[in-house]
Amino acid sequence: MNTPRKVLLLAGAALALAGCGGGKTAPPPEAKSNAAAYDKVDVCNLATDDQLKSALGENAANKERRDTDALKACAVDGASGDFYVFLSVVRPTMAASEQVSFDKSAAQGARDVDAKTFSFFDDGQAYVETSDGDLVLRASLVYYVDSGKIADGPGVVGRLHTLLGEMTQKV
């Protein structure tokens, strides 16, 4: 084979491997469409007792649904009675990612966890919020007044982030 022909074959192979030359590109991944799941979701059933125990750092006690017109929610007391985990799912009127960005901008001291998720903590509460398809999910740990305070904010945020990841798999 002569040299110009080899060069053309190698160039054509390189273009094909690079995704050029054939005019075909891989389609973008489909966005998760889960808006309809909001109507039937029971937030109290998005986490198992073991998952709640991991997030709380102790056994879970009472679960109470706290749905409103604007969100589906569940409050789960820790066995000590000092704090609770509050889980919520919202179908926002704007894009879920825009809602998370808005909420993040309103929380002074919020920190990025990843491209779709942020966290916040202070002495009395910690939460992690994420967009998941058409929905916004949040997991919070909140101390009751005069019941204590968060000593390890990053640790609590880590546990809540794990719980939130487990919840998104069920919506």
For residue range 41-84, list pLDDT tens digits in order.
Answer: 999 999 999 999 999 999 999 999 999 888 999 999 999 999 99
- Residue 16: its pLDDT value, please? 39
Question: Cβ of 51: how many Cβ atoms within 10 Å?
Answer: 17
CA distances 105 to 64, 74, 111, Å, are 29, 25, 10
Domain spanning 35-168: which CATH class is it, in words?
alpha beta
Band of pLDDT at residue 33, cut at 50, 70 and 90: confident
Mean per-residue pLDDT, 6-32: 46
Residue 132 carries which DSSP code?
E
Average pLDDT over all residues of the chain:
86
d(CA 37, CA 133): 11
d(CA 57, CA 139): 14
Tens digit of each residue's pLDDT (9 = 90 or more) over 101-139? 999 999 999 999 999 999 999 999 999 999 999 999 999
Residue 17 carries which DSSP code?
H
Query: Is the pLDDT score of 29 beyond 50?
Result: yes
Whole-prediction pTM value? Answer: 0.80
> In terms of pLDDT, which residue wins out, 24 or 74?
74
Query: Is the pLDDT score of 159 beyond 60?
Result: yes
